[in-house]
Structure 1
Amino acid sequence: MNKKTDIDIVIRYLEDPDNEQHKQQLNDWIQQDTANLDIFLDMKAMWQGDPLPAASAFDTQGQWLQLSTTLDTLPATIAPTPVAAPRNTRVVNIKTRYWWAAAAVLAIGLTWTWLGPGSYKTITTAQNIDSLHLPDGSMVYINTNSTVRYSRTFGKNNRHIKIDKGEAFFDVVKNDGLPFTVDAPDVKVKVLGTAFNVKTAQSGVKVFVQSGKVAFKGKGSGKEVILTPGQEASLARHGNAVDTRFYKKNNNILAWRTRCLTFDDAPLPEVAAALSDFYNVEVNISNQQLNDKKLLATFPNMPLEEVLDIMRKTLQINITYKNNLVEIY
């Protein structure tokens, strides 16, 4: 990050995060290079006052020399315009702004010196599903609109993954000497070798185990629950109580990865929840008398309109779909 324009993009967003133009500029910049997300997260942490790691062997004199060179090359347009009446105030504001930006460059340099050039590799998906082959042989399948990070030293002295948002499925290679851990908001998951799904949302975090065993631990309460195949644990955001339940085989939790929805005499509310999750739409059952209706069907990666048409004919119900809202009545 050596361009002042890049610094300005981040600063403008941090100064006014609700500004849509600033959001778009920041998003475009992050999309240019995945390393930019690491830089932004570091700058955001500093902006919020989070402490940086303690220094070890760091060339302070060399970094300040580089900083001085950067300041010397700032464009002359930073100087005040002679005819401007409030020029003294503007000089202070601009100098303060660029000194802060230069300090941010130095701090980023410090962070990267201590932690390595971007201590995490970041994968972000938009409207696509992606997969990641980790250095230890494990596989990660990443759902849409998700962000996953892993250490650049992954597989050497750690097997640590972070889910900042969204959902991912893990197929983990067993290594008794190096446990596989996943950090999600309010939750830490630890495994030795298994296949499991982690879903984060505004409401909380859910972990579903397909095979093997998983230790699910809430960071707030410290309570640890051992999950076995077919079992799911959930923790509300900022909550302490861990809820668990067992699912039958056809539960559609992993439908986002298999791209197939299967309903085995599933009650209509369960069908509605699965459709909402799979197609990212809102589904509302306005006639509660329909809750007892059950659906027996399989939909292999079919468009939502076709699924709704089959449901309408099979269950003899009324369904409308408009503006991302499905009404069942």
Structure 2
Amino acid sequence: MTKKKIHYLRYLIEKREKNEISEAEKNLLEDFLDKEFENAEWDSAKMRSKEAVSAEIFRKIKPNSPVKKSLVNYYKYAAVACIVLMLGLGILLKSGVDVKDITVTTLSATDSVKLNDGSLVYLAANSVFKYPEQFNGETRSVTLLKGNAFFKVSKDPHHPFIITSANIKTKVLGTSFHISLDKGRSSVTVITGHVRVSSDKQIAYLEPNERAVITTSGLTKQSVSDMWLYSWYKKDIDLSDVTLHKIFTLLNFKYGVNFKPEDKEILNTRITLYIKGGLSLQNILDQINYVTHLKFKQYGNTVVVNH
């Protein structure tokens, strides 16, 4: 549908609501609306009743303009179907159009995804994330299949955001938090807002600076102090007087490598480091070497560290 036609249809609908439309314009508008509404395909099992959803959308589009009783119900629903088509509000009425799932896989670098509700998802290296092309229904559901992700969820109190990851479900309305999946151990760390985490029969409610850890033994709730660790998704990262253990964890998120120190005491070394966006892993290791004189040898996804 061309923009010119969309504007004209919107113009006719507004004239119809103000009772200023001519008979010829009214016939033209209603013929189009009847055709669009009758030909629209609808999966009631997944998307509820077409009439109920249409009425709900109409109320949201015109919050200050209640539906006039003089309007015929059929016309009202047809008008809503037309407005939905014109404004792209996420209800798929055109025949042959399905909601697609998109899977994003990261390898040795981070990536980000903007969902159609405005939420942002930052994926660490070696992560797999699946989400619908657009959200329909009463919830916004996505899946973290592997790795680590940082979520900035847009607020929508009427449509909870639910992340399925391994054996846990994380439910929020609008907040920011980090989810980690690691060989039988999963965790959810909250940065802002409130989060509900459930696993089997256990439930935890988290606030900022709190984490839920889920293992085969069950779910435990912990306090978190090193919140800066979850800034791995940012372009530029300024680290001051931080242990190499924490730095290696952050670099694992960004570059998907595991660090293997030959001497565990190396992990307690504290340094100050500035990581500028776009730098290669080797460039960062060269900076650490310059400060600590440690040596790094990379074998695939493993970096061996020694004196």
Length-normalised TM-score, structure 1: 0.55
Shift of 1:194: 0.7
Q: 1:287 to 1:133 in 2, by over 3 A?
A: closer
In 1, distance between residues paired with 2:171 and 2:248? 32
Match of 2:203 in 1: 224
Do the aligned partners of 1:197 and 1:207 also contact (CA within 8 Å) in 2? yes
Match of 1:211 in 2: 192
Task: Provide Cα deviations, 1:44-65, integer angstroms capped at 9, x if missing partner.
Answer: xxxxxxxxxxx9xxxxxxxxxx
Q: Choose from 110, 132, 139 the match for 1:158.
A: 139
Structure 2 residue 228 is the aligned partner of structure 1 residue 250:
yes
Q: 1:155 to 1:140 in 2, by over 3 A?
A: farther
Paired amino acid for 2:195: V
Paired amino acid for 1:307: I
Structure 2 residue 131 is the aligned partner of structure 1 residue 138:
no
Structure 2 residue 283 is the aligned partner of structure 1 residue 306:
yes
Task: Provide Cα deviations, 1:192-240, integer angstroms capped at 9, x if missing partner.
Answer: 111122222324222222211111222x2x222222223332222x441
Paired amino acid for 1:150: Y
In 1, distance between residues paired with 2:257 and 2:289? 17
Q: Which has the higher contact order (CA 8 A, sep 6+)?
A: 2
Paired amino acid for 1:277: F
Q: Percent identity?
A: 23
Q: Choose from 246, 265, 272 the match for 2:241.
A: 265
Q: 1:129 to 1:323 in 2, by over 3 A?
A: closer
SS at 1:271's partner residue? helix
Match of 2:161 in 1: 180
Paired amino acid for 1:244: Q
SS at 1:233's partner residue? strand
Task: Provide Cα deviations, 1:78-130, integer angstroms capped at 9, x if missing partner.
Answer: xxxxxxxxxxxxxxxxxxxxxxxxxxxxxxxxxxxxxx987751222243644
Match of 2:305 in 1: 327
- What RMSD in Å do the two structures reach over aligned CA positions? 2.9
Paired amino acid for 2:274: T
Match of 1:147 in 2: 128
Match of 1:240 in 2: 218
Paired amino acid for 2:291: T
Paired amino acid for 2:231: L
In 2, distance between residues paired with 1:142 and 1:318? 29
In 1, distance between residues paired with 2:247 and 2:112? 27
In 1, distance between residues paired with 2:266 and 2:280? 23
Q: Choose from 173, 176, 179 the match for 1:192.
A: 173
SS at 1:178's partner residue? coil
Q: 1:263 to 1:184 in 2, by over 3 A?
A: same
Task: Give the total of aligned pairs.
Answer: 209
Shift of 1:249: 4.2
Q: 1:272 to 1:131 in 2, by over 3 A?
A: closer
SS at 1:310's partner residue? helix
Structure 2 residue 266 is the aligned partner of structure 1 residue 287:
no
SS at 2:218's partner residue? coil
Task: Provide Cα deviations, 1:252-274, integer angstroms capped at 9, x if missing partner.
Answer: x231x214444322223223333
Paired amino acid for 1:201: D
In 2, distance between residues paired with 1:144 and 1:274? 11
